Amino acid sequence: MKRVLQVFAVLVVLAALGAGAYVYSKQPTRQGTVTLANLQGSVTVRYDDRGVPHIRAENETDLYRALGYVHAQDRLFQMEIMRRLARGELAEVLGPKVLETDKLFRSLRIRDRAATYVAQLDHESAHWKALQAYLDGINQYQDSHARPMEFDVLGIPKRPFTAEDTISVAGYMAYSFAAAFRTEPLLTYVRDQLGSDYLKIFDLDWQPKGALNLAASDWQTLGALASLSEQALADNGLPQFEGSNAWAISGNRTKSGKPLLAGDPHIRFSVPSVWYEAQLSAPGFELYGYHNALVPMAFLGHNLDFGWSLTMFQNDDLDLIAEKVNPDNANQVWYHGQWVDMTRTEQQIAVKGQAPVTLTLRQSPHGPIINDVLGENAGNTPIAMWWAFLDTQNPILEGFYQLNRADTLAKARAAAAKVSAPGLNIVWANAKGDIGWWAAAQLPIRPAGINPGFILDGSTEQADKPGFYPFSANPQEENPARGYVVSANAQPASPTGMEIPGYYNLADRGQQLNAQLSDKSVKWDVNNSQALQLGTTTAFGPRLLAPLLPVLREVVKDPAQLKLVEQLASWKGDYPLDSTSATLFNQFLFNLADAAFHPKLGDGMFKTLLTTRVIDAALPRLAATPDSPWWDGKRADTVKLAWDNSLAHLKATLGDDPSQWQWGTAHTLTHGHPLGMQKPLDKLFNVGPFPAPGTHEVPNNQSAMIGPAPWPVTYGPSTRRLIDFADAAHALTINPVGQSGVPFDRHYSDQAETYIEGGYEQAHFTDEEVTANTRGTLKLLPARAPQ
């Protein structure tokens, strides 16, 4: 027996050693010398204490080639899974469970648009050469190293990365902005099935007469399409762009006398996080940038002279259009007074473990038919999609290449004008004292009186786009007299006064930021700017509760429960970890929505409503409108039902003692990895959970979907940046998880605790500080030509 135990122990040790050697073989190399083909000179990569590469090259082409190489060794699996999602190729490695997601993304025509986009690019342009060098660096790393661990688990073969992949990922980013997929089916259903009175709480211009004659099967189709759209983004553990804060303050409002730039784009959490930080240095070019997978140009960045951040514009750049079908020819639709044929193409989708699936894609004159992906459940009415990403030239790569070098207002404005889709707010400042904000998008001209928040009637001119407005009509400000610009996804104003349809966030967050920034008694610096970024208070809760408190005081009879009502009455709308009022309100919010909306919308549309931004505006208006038809004449009964259900759920979930219903117990953040979606792999790949302060639509926007407790946070600040241009070399930053996407690497999750606790790190910039904080140096040398 003793001998058997000894042998077993040896086997365990050998297995552990083998596992250790396997894991070690997958780790990034941050020290030593590597030869790369196509380099013109040597490149030095110094890795700092957070694993951020500081790359110095003798020319820009070498610089971008080196960036591709080091980006790949930290994030190759992220690059792979994002291009597969965007191009509808996930089922090849994940199997039939994601086949419907692949069908959806094929129907969006992202891969087709990527092919035509790349074919039209100027291959002598600086941005094309930068992209090609960057992709060459990625491919050289992939060709010369073992596959990442995730490739082994999923059986992913190596294949080269291409410019089409880069544009496809840009398409995915644009799609993640497009709220129309969820919102337009919902609002059209409310208008045409429930009636115009039910629309009033959504504060929309509405058409008193329904424009569409849809059958019950068509409404089921639209509900299924909205659900599929949401699940495609939620179920793959990948970044999704959601909202953001950004502001720039003139020197006359700061302690230092120089402009201050702040930014924290709000993006779905994931492992790894969306941004890859890197400092790029070459003669004539210097930038500390934040890069998205497969994109060489930084989407956020700064140097000693200028910097910028982004928020989401939230403009409506996608229309859904119901086509009228010829009763004698199902392949024809009515367009501009005549029957017109739809085109058909077929694509093969590879599926792991089974035969390929053939997908037939149709297109009308308005755009791709997107409900065909539902197969037999598609209904009788083809729903076409017009999308600015497909129908504009959109020189976004050139725009960001220029923005990476935009040290003047004129250069930044010109760069912003090249972004067509997705819509972005660019908030910019420079050390010379200028600040600016531009809403970057190509805004379509629509027929007068048409609200694109509803599904449009393709048999009329509702869906026509006769052209686009000039960039000068876009919302924008340069050096305003107030001394600051601020962007927080709320509806902006156009210089021309025109309406800009969109799915904007509530104004509360922006109003709160604006109220503090407008206080002329405050001189701003990076310290009080941190407090502003980390704010956890919103007026939303107290505003919603105010008209309901008299109702609650009337219908609640139990003395202990009345104490809870009064606790809510004195609550200021703050969401620290120890708040029990925040927990009680959040649960009541869901049960109120459930009691008022669910019975009339049904399961599918109610679930869709919870994923849209329109519910944020609807709930306070519902609370303040006693005669809304959503109450069905039973406001007091509905409020009482919501209250009773809230307490019952919290007791069942968090215990009978309300003092234990603390926000940090119920509201937690776990950074999910695509492989962590499956247990027990979540223990290996996911990071968390962490108690999370903040909530939806506060500055520290740690956001969870409206629903019953507990609330897993899904998105929030993807980084927090603060740059005072009096000392831009000591800018502050943070990554929500870590710089590396390689499991078990020391930089895989080394910033997660600092992030959730509201901490910041310094972005090392000067040569002296980079040298002092260097933890490893990688030299990239030109490969010798074969003799």
392 in helix, strand or coil? coil
Q: Which two tokens stand for residue 221?
A: 């189709």
Please answer whether residues 173 and 105 qualify as being in contact, where contact means their C-beta atoms are separated by less than 8 angstroms. Answer: no
Task: Please tell me the distance from the alpha carbon of residue 226 to that of residue 606, in angstroms, as a whole number.
Answer: 11
Amino acid at 474: N
Q: Does 650 reside within a domain?
A: yes
Query: For 340-347, what is the mean pLDDT?
Result: 97
Please answer whether residues 427 and 437 qualify as being in contact, where contact means their C-beta atoms are separated by less than 8 angstroms. Answer: yes
Please answer whether residues 719 and 555 qualify as being in contact, where contact means their C-beta atoms are separated by less than 8 angstroms. Answer: no
Q: Does 390 reside within a domain?
A: no
Query: For 640-645, what is the mean pLDDT?
Result: 98
Helices (H) and strands (E) in the chain, counts: 25, 32
277, 281, 286, 288: CA torsion to nearest 10: 10
Residues 6+ apart with CB under 8 A from 298: 278, 287, 289, 290, 291, 400, 404
Each residue's pLDDT tens digit, 707-743: 999 999 999 999 999 999 999 999 999 999 999 999 9
Q: Return the pLDDT at 84.
A: 96
Considering the chain, what is the average pLDDT of its residues? 92
Looking at residue 693, the DSSP 8-state letter turns out to be: -
By residue range, what is the domain housing residue 651?
540-572+580-661
Residues linked to residue 468 through DSSP beta bridges, in sequence order = 444
How many Å is the Cα radius of gyration of the chain? 27
Q: Among 148-157, 182-191, 234-243, 500-509, which stretch is predicted with the lowest mean pLDDT?
A: 234-243
CA distances from 393 to 207, 369, 452, 473 (A): 32, 21, 22, 19
Residues 6+ apart with CB under 8 A from 175: 105, 108, 110, 389
CA distances from 282 to 107, 132, 296, 402 (A): 42, 17, 15, 16
| DSSP assignment of 481-517 | TTSEEEE-SS----TT-----B-PPPSHHHHHHHHHH
Phi, psi (deg, nearest 5) at residue 656: -75, -20
Each residue's pLDDT tens digit, 37-67: 999 999 999 999 999 999 999 999 999 999 9
Task: Please tell me the distance from the alpha carbon of residue 600 to that of residue 619, in angstroms, as a whole number.
Answer: 15
Task: Please tell me the distance from the alpha carbon of residue 585 to that of residue 709, in angstroms, as a whole number.
Answer: 11
Evaluate if residue 18 carries a pLDDT over 80: no
419 in helix, strand or coil? coil
Evaluate if residue 329 carries a pLDDT over 80: yes
Evaluate if residue 210 carries a pLDDT over 50: no
Q: Does 108 reside within a domain?
A: no
Q: Where does residue 485 rank: exposed (0-12), middle (13-18), buried (19+ CB within 10 A)?
A: buried
Each residue's pLDDT tens digit, 89-114: 999 999 999 999 999 999 999 999 99
Q: Within 13 Å of residue 432, how many CA atoms lie on the same side as its CB?
A: 9
Q: Does 608 reside within a domain?
A: yes
Direct distance between the N- and C-terminal alpha carbons of the chain, in angstroms, rounded to an integer: 63
Task: Please tell me the distance from the alpha carbon of residue 127 to that of residue 647, in angstroms, as a whole number.
Answer: 58
Other Cβ atoms closer than 10 A to 726 = 16
Instruction: Tell the residue number behind the tokens 């990034």, with chain if given.
Output: 28
Q: In sequence order, what E strands does 292-396 have?
A: 300-302, 306-312, 318-322, 325-326, 329-335, 338-341, 343-351, 354-364, 367-368, 383-387
Query: For 314-318, what is the mean pLDDT?
Result: 93
β-strands 776-782, 32-36 pairing: parallel
Q: Return the pLDDT at 350.
A: 97
Query: For 410-428, what is the mean pLDDT?
Result: 97
* pTM summary value: 0.94
Give 375's pLDDT tier (boundaries 50, 70, 90).
confident
Q: Does 657 reside within a domain?
A: yes
Evaluate if residue 213 carries a pLDDT over 60: no
Q: Does 652 reside within a domain?
A: yes
Amino acid at 231: Q
Task: Please tell me the distance from the alpha carbon of residue 317 to that of residue 184, in angstroms, as a whole number.
Answer: 12
Q: Where does residue 625 rank: exposed (0-12), middle (13-18), buried (19+ CB within 10 A)?
A: middle
Task: Please tell me the distance from the alpha carbon of residue 771 to that of residue 765, in angstroms, as a whole number.
Answer: 10
Evaluate if residue 11 carries a pLDDT over 50: no
Other Cβ atoms closer than 10 A to 410 = 12
Evaluate if residue 695 carries a pLDDT over 90: yes
Q: Which two tokens stand for residue 555?
A: 């219908």
Each residue's pLDDT tens digit, 527-553: 999 999 999 999 999 999 999 999 999
Task: Please tell me the distance from the alpha carbon of residue 658 to that of residue 639, in angstroms, as a whole number.
Answer: 20
Amino acid at 381: T
Other Cβ atoms closer than 10 A to 120 = 9
Q: Return the pLDDT at 222.
A: 63
Q: Does 86 reside within a domain?
A: no
Q: Which two tokens stand for residue 226?
A: 């909205």
CA 38 to chain centre: 35
Each residue's pLDDT tens digit, 263-291: 999 999 999 999 999 999 999 999 999 99
CA angle 75, 80, 81 (to 5 degrees): 100
Q: Return the pLDDT at 86.
A: 95
What is the percent of the chain with per-residue pLDDT over 70, rounded to a whole number? 92
Q: Does 637 reside within a domain?
A: yes
- Per the structure, the count of domains in the chain is 1
379, 382, 387, 391: CA torsion to nearest 10: 160
CA nearest neighbour of 717 among 750, 747, 760: 760
Q: Return the pLDDT at 219.
A: 54
Residues in the chain: 787
